[in-house]
């Protein structure tokens, strides 16, 4: 049950600017599709109180969120909503959780271990009841109680410019790593665009690759079940090895940007939109933004990560989950906001850019293209009882950072010849760390 | 008025206490209390937010001293160490020449100080464009006919730390400059006039009037500069996040604390860093005393 | 011969100044250019390319209004003024004590202030936050003010330096007139420290003005935003509008530049020496 959204868990004393990136990733769900009742709170007028809502969306807190607050007020005239936006959400909220003031409604920091959730958050209901209403609750369910509802559900793969691919003579969407490399090579030979843009400098876009582990494994059990129980997480033939081999290969064959160390995320979006970049590994949340920058939005497509697996699974993953502070003094009002935000604000599909967590909600347009194809959309299987959060624990103890950019950067540095180590050296090092930490976590 | 009638001895006592109390309380509460807590955390496995943690004795320290990865990053500090001297030298040079007669003096003073007015976001932004391929630096080199020199300023692992140290000089030189300039200006004009009459040249004035009169401030800046080099953080953090061989000890500490939620281990790293900085400072003080 | 040497030195002097000015200004000009470009233009042009429309102030308007810069300025001014007045008083008081009196523990005290500057504050932030929380100051303007007063010791050193150049004979002659130490400090020393105070205003003022981390962490409420945090409005998790940030940067530079330019002659004027004569 790990996944890091942006986890640039940074800080910065002096001046620093938080290069905030958000990614998203996975979570899991058994995928119950029973149609549930929509949330029926007590009538709006009965609830009153002032609530503070903390968000990571610094860019729209004064615009879109203000509109939300107004509409919310029409239904709940006696609740006053105030917002706080944190630019380095993960880093700052964790420091603030040392106090009793971390708002009434907030996003659950991904780096807080599952077991610690009840210490900071209020249970929202029983899992068995709530699953009829929402998908993706498993990520923050402890002992049958739900603590967070996903603000949106993302799917991961590659955002690509169809025209760049077509102009280079790639007529079919590449399915396997080999086809993918061949397609990128064609784009390189054509010379009009950077085949794949890594966004190495920003760092966090590299963590998006990890979200595609399920696609490479071709199995929804891999991430939380198989991975937690293997010592061979990075050996040749394992999904991690195959996943990052592709990263190494594209960098090594020069199919990436000329100078990865000076990339700029903003520019990269515009370049992808305008056909100067072929593709980037990203989540669904980015599609809308890139289409918005393009004069021909229909050229911007989405494809599953290349895989040799038999089944093509596009993993669905919770974005940040939203919950209520256990220290809140207006929990009912806070709950009203959450239900309204998920079901009525349109945030999950518009600003969130993914799928609504509400059971039975309509598929977003970008997903409809895959209806009737062999691509499957699935949540990952949750960890086995007693193993919740285990992968995360091993990851932290070993300082591997599955959801951190660090070892991905190392792979790219090695691939472009800046470091002397080979891909197998790196994988061996990671596997050794994994094995040692798995043993030490087990012995605790 | 009661105060006025006290003996100077009693006044002295009173004023020492009255004038020290608030600064000392503030200093203790906001500088030393956190450090004391940091010491405490360094013996725990606290993750930085949970209610509960365990005491682990010296385990964190053992980890730091047995795993070479924690110490190898100090070689990056050498670049900033050298940069500190370049920065001080430049600041002293410009402060000196701008203390004498120069055309457009105020313009140059203002311009040299200007980078210190900028905010961290601006710096990161500016230098990303400065160093990127065909960016500001390459464009200028091209213009000067030196295009053969252009290269991946942050891409080449042998150059990256020089580029970053350069950005660091750009950013902090003006600050040292203004402090030096202020200190030099506290030397009265009559002193120079007297030495002019004695036939001293500019170098003598620099060596025998300026240097001694601003010694304390130069020393402080040097100490701050060197401890800053050892704990270099913001420029590489803003620019590269410590990738491609530009990682420093403080970046690593912040990563351990917040990426990997090991505040205990990170506290131990901070304690080690503090000790190193203090030892270097004491050594430097001893050395400069010896010189006198 | 002397003349020639003099000219060569002079050429070198001006050349070095001009190069330095160039090196400093070029990167800033890039920001100015960016602030005048449209989003589209920004994405498609080289940084050194001047904007097509020199009067495209759309980004400035957006930064100023959407960023609620006025609110930011009001909060910043309050924090800067209180912090500077505090730092000046506290710094000059402790510097006066340390420079004029030798007493048991004075060396230790001096050392304590020096040591504090060496603490890497990034690493102690969790502990610091707990203290501010304990004092119930989170989300008030006094959290950053206290932190600026308690942890940034540079003012003390600037005052110590200046006090060294103020002759103790001044104090002594005042004492002969029967002045108390209090009077000496407030009537004689403090006015003589004026140039140092201006330096402190600039140095601390700039630090506080540009510090974004402290206000961000300790004052999360929208009403308490300061200028530096306003910049981040345009830097969201899913992207940032650099051309608007550039405009915000320029907006944020303007007042501090004005303050600097109008104060600069006081910084450079060392008149402490003159008063002894």
Compute the distance between CA of residue B222 and CA of residue B224 in angstroms, rounded to an integer. 5
> Which of A7, A19, A262 is closest, CB to CB, to B131?
A262
**pLDDT greater than 70 at residue A90:** yes
pLDDT at B250 over 70: yes
pLDDT bin (cut points 50, 70, 90) of residue C8 is confident
Give the pairing type, strands A149-150 and A277-283: unpaired
Considering CB atoms only, which of C24, C122, C252 is closest to B112? C24
Residues B155/B156/B161/B165 CA torsion (nearest 10 deg): -70
Residues of B in contact with A194 (CB under 8 A): none
Query: Which residues on neighbouring strands pair with residue A159, listed in sequence order?
Result: A280, A302
Partner-chain residue, chosen from A13, A98, A201, that has the shortest CB–CB distance to B49: A98
pLDDT in tens, C163-172: 877 778 888 8
pLDDT band of B121, cuts 50, 70, 90: low
- Averaged pLDDT of chain A: 84
* C20–B112 C-beta distance less than 8 A: yes
Of the ranges A160-164, B46-50, B264-268, C210-214, which one carries the lowest mean pLDDT score? C210-214
Query: Which residues in chain C are closer than 8 Å to B217, comparing Cβ atoms?
Result: 157-158, 161
| Alpha-carbon gap: A139 to the closest alpha carbon of chain B (Å) | 19
Query: Which pLDDT belongs to residue C236?
Result: 52
Question: Distance between CA A68 and CA A65 in Å, rounded?
Answer: 5
Q: What is the pLDDT of residue A228?
A: 92
Residues of B in contact with C153 (CB under 8 A): 27
Q: Which residues of B touch A14 (CB under 8 A)?
A: 120, 233-234
Scan for tokens 């402290």, then name that residue.
Answer: C214
A127 pLDDT more than 60: yes
> How many Å apart are CA B228 and CA B230, to the nearest integer?
5
Chain B residues with a Cβ under 8 Å from any Cβ in chain A: 47-51, 119-121, 123-124, 128, 131-133, 135, 152-157, 160, 233-234, 237-238, 240-241, 243-245, 254-262
Which chains touch C (3+ CB pairs under 8 A)?
Answer: A, B
C233 closest CB neighbour out of A11, A14, A62: A62
Q: Which site among C223, C238, C244 would you substitute to test the A interface, given the most A Cβ atoms closer than 10 Å to its Cβ?
A: C238
Interface contact C212-B186, CB threshold 8 A? no
Nearest to B60 by CA among B35, B39, B75: B39
The ipTM of this complex is 0.80
Q: Which residues of B touch A406 (CB under 8 A)?
A: 243, 255, 259
The predicted structure's pLDDT at residue B291: 64
Is there a contact between A289 and A86 (Cβ–Cβ < 8 Å)? no
Q: For chain B, where are the E strands, in sequence order?
A: none
Q: Are C162 and C196 in contact (CB under 8 A)?
A: yes
Q: Which residue has the higher pLDDT, B136 or A6?
A: B136
Is the CB of residue A101 less than 8 Å away from at least one CB of chain B?
A: no
Nearest-5° Cα angle at B26, B25 to B30 = 120
Contact indicator for B273, B189 with CB cutoff of 8 Å: no
Average the pLDDT over B106-119 and give the result: 85
Q: Does residue B76 carry a pLDDT above 80?
A: yes
Q: Which CATH class is domain B43-291?
A: mainly alpha
Domains of chain A: 44-152+320-357 (3.40.190.10), 154-318+367-444 (3.40.190.10)
Lowest mean pLDDT among A426-435, B22-31, C230-239: C230-239
Q: How far is Cα B30 from Cα C127, in angstroms, rounded to an integer?
A: 9
| φ/ψ (deg, to 5) at B169 | -65, -45
How high is the pLDDT of residue C68? 82
Give the model confidence (pLDDT) of A288-297 as tens digits.
888 888 888 8
- What pLDDT, in 10s, does the model give residues A138-153? 888 888 899 999 999 9
pLDDT at A168: 93
Q: Across the interface, do C93 and B23 touch by the CB < 8 Å criterion? A: yes
CA distance B124 to C252: 16
Quick check: B37 and C124 CB within 8 A? yes
Residue A158: its pLDDT value, please? 94
Residue with more model confidence, A61 or A117: A117
pLDDT band at A11 (very low <50, low <70, confident <90, very high): very low
User: For residue C217, what is the enclosing H or E element?
Assistant: helix C213-218
Average pLDDT over residues B234-250: 84
Number of A/B CB contacts below 8 angstroms equals 120
Q: Which domains does chain C have, with CATH numbers?
A: 86-235+259-276 (1.10.3720.10)
Q: How confident is the prediction for chain B on average, in pLDDT? A: 84
User: Predicted confidence band at C232 (pLDDT cuts at 50, 70, 90)?
Assistant: low
The pLDDT of residue A6 is 32
Q: Name the pTM for this structure.
A: 0.80
User: How many Å lie between the alpha carbon of B216 and the closest alpha carbon of chain C?
Assistant: 7
Residues of A in contact with C222 (CB under 8 A): 61-62, 82-85
Please tell me if residue C68 touches chain A, with a CB cutoff of 8 Å: yes
pLDDT-derived band at B11 (thresholds 50, 70, 90) equals: confident
Residue C198: per-residue pLDDT: 82
On the question of pLDDT at A169 being above 70, the answer is: yes
- In chain B, what are the domain boundaries? 1-32, 43-291
Using a CB–CB cutoff of 8 Å, tell me whether A199 touches chain B: no
Which helix (H) or strand (E) segment holds residue C116: the answer is helix C106-118
Min mean pLDDT across A34-43, A153-162, B111-120, C75-84 is at A34-43
């Amino acid at each position: 049950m790990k996944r890091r959204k942006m986890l640039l868990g940074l800080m910065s004393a002096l001046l620093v600017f938080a290069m905030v990136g958000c990614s998203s990733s996975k979570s899991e769900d058994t995928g119950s599709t029973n149609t549930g009742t929509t949330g029926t709170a007590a009538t709006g007028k009965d609830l009153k109180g002032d609530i503070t809502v903390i968000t990571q969306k610094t860019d729209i807190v004064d615009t879109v969120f203000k509109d939300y607050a107004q509409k919310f007020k029409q239904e709940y005239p006696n609740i006053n909503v105030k917002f706080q936006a944190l630019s380095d959400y993960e880093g700052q909220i964790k420091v603030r959780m040392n106090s009793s003031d971390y708002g009434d409604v907030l996003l659950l920091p991904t780096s807080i271990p599952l077991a610690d959730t009840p210490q900071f958050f209020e249970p929202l209901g029983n899992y068995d009841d709530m699953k009829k209403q929402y998908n993706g609750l498993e990520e923050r369910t402890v002992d049958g109680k739900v603590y967070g509802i996903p603000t949106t559900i993302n799917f991961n793969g590659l955002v690509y410019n169809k025209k760049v691919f077509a102009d280079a003579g790639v007529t079919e969407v590449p399915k396997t790593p080999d086809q993918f490399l061949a397609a990128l090579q064609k784009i390189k030979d054509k010379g009009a665009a950077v085949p794949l843009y890594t966004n190495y400098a920003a760092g966090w876009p590299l963590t998006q690759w990890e979200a595609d582990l399920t696609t490479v494994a071709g199995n929804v059990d891999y991430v939380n079940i198989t991975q937690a129980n293997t010592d061979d997480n990075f050996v040749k033939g394992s999904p991690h090895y195959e996943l990052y081999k592709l990263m190494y290969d594209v960098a090594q064959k020069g199919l990436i940007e000329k100078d990865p160390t000076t990339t700029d995320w903003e520019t990269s979006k515009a370049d992808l939109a305008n056909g100067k970049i072929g593709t980037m590994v990203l989540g669904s949340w980015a599609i809308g933004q890139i289409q918005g920058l393009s004069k021909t939005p229909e050229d911007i497509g989405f494809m599953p990560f290349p895989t040799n697996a038999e089944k093509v699974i596009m993993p669905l993953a919770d974005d940040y989950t939203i919950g209520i502070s256990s220290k809140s003094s207006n929990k009912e009002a806070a709950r009203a906001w959450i239900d309204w935000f998920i079901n009525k604000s349109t945030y999950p599909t518009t600003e969130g850019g993914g799928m609504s967590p509400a059971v039975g909600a309509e598929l977003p347009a970008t997903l409809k293209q895959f209806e009737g194809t062999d691509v499957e959309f699935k949540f990952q299987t949750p960890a086995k009882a007693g193993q919740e959060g285990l992968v995360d624990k091993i990851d932290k103890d070993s300082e591997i950072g599955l959801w951190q950019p660090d070892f991905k950067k190392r792979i790219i540095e090695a691939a472009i010849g800046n470091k002397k180590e080979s891909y197998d050296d790196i994988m061996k090092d990671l596997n050794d760390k994994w094995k040692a930490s798995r043993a030490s976590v087990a012995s605790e | 008025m009661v105060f006025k009638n006290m003996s100077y001895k009693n006044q002295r006592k009173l004023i020492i206490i009255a004038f020290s109390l608030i600064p000392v309380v503030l200093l203790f509460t906001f500088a030393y209390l956190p450090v004391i807590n940091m010491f405490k955390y360094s013996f725990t496995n606290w993750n930085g937010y949970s209610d509960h943690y365990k005491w682990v004795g010296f385990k964190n320290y053992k980890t730091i001293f047995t795993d070479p990865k924690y110490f190898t990053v100090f070689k990056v500090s050498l670049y900033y160490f050298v940069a500190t001297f370049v920065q001080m030298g430049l600041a002293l040079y410009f402060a000196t020449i701008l203390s004498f007669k120069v055309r457009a003096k105020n313009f140059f003073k203002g311009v040299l100080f200007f980078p210190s007015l900028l905010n961290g976001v601006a710096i990161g932004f500016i230098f990303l464009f400065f160093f990127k391929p065909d960016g500001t630096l390459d464009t200028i080199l091209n213009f000067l006919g030196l295009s053969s020199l252009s290269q991946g300023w942050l891409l080449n692992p042998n150059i990256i730390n020089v580029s970053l140290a350069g950005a660091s000089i750009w950013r902090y030189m003006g600050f040292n400059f203004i402090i030096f300039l202020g200190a030099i200006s506290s030397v009265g004009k009559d002193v120079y006039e007297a030495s002019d009459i004695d036939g001293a040249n500019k170098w003598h004035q620099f060596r025998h009037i300026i240097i001694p009169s601003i010694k304390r401030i130069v020393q402080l800046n040097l100490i701050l500069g060197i401890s800053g080099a050892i704990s270099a953080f913001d420029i590489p953090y803003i620019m590269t996040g410590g990738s491609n061989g530009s990682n420093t000890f403080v970046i690593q500490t912040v990563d351990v604390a917040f990426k990997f939620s090991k505040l205990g281990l990170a506290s131990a790293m901070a304690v080690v860093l503090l000790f190193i900085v203090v030892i270097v400072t004491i050594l430097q003080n001893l050395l400069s005393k010896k010189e006198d | 011969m002397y003349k020639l040497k003099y000219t060569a030195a002079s050429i070198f002097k001006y050349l070095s100044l001009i190069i330095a000015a160039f090196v400093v200004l070029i990167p800033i000009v890039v920001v100015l250019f960016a602030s005048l470009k449209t989003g589209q233009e920004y994405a498609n042009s080289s940084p050194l390319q001047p904007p097509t429309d020199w009067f495209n102030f759309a980004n400035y308007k957006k930064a100023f209004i959407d960023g609620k810069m006025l609110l930011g300025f009001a909060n910043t001014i309050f924090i800067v003024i209180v912090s500077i007045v505090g730092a000046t008083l506290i710094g000059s008081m402790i510097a006066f004590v340390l420079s004029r009196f030798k007493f048991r523990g004075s060396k230790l005290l001096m050392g304590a202030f020096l040591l504090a500057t060496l603490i890497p504050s990034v690493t102690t932030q969790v502990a610091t936050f707990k203290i501010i929380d304990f004092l119930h100051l989170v989300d008030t303007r006094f959290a950053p003010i206290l932190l600026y007063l308690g942890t940034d010791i540079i003012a003390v050193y600037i005052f110590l330096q200046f006090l060294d150049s103020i002759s103790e004979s001044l104090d002594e002659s005042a004492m002969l007139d029967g002045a108390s130490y209090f009077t000496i400090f407030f009537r004689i020393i403090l006015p003589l420290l004026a140039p140092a105070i201006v330096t402190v205003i600039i140095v601390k003022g700039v630090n506080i003005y540009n510090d974004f981390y402290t206000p961000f962490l300790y004052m999360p409420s929208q009403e308490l935003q300061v200028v530096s945090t306003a910049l981040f409005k345009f830097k969201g998790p899913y992207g940032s509008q650099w051309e608007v940030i550039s405009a915000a940067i320029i907006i944020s530079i303007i007042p501090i530049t004005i303050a600097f330019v109008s104060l600069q002659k006081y910084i450079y004027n060392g008149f402490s020496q003159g008063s002894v004569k």
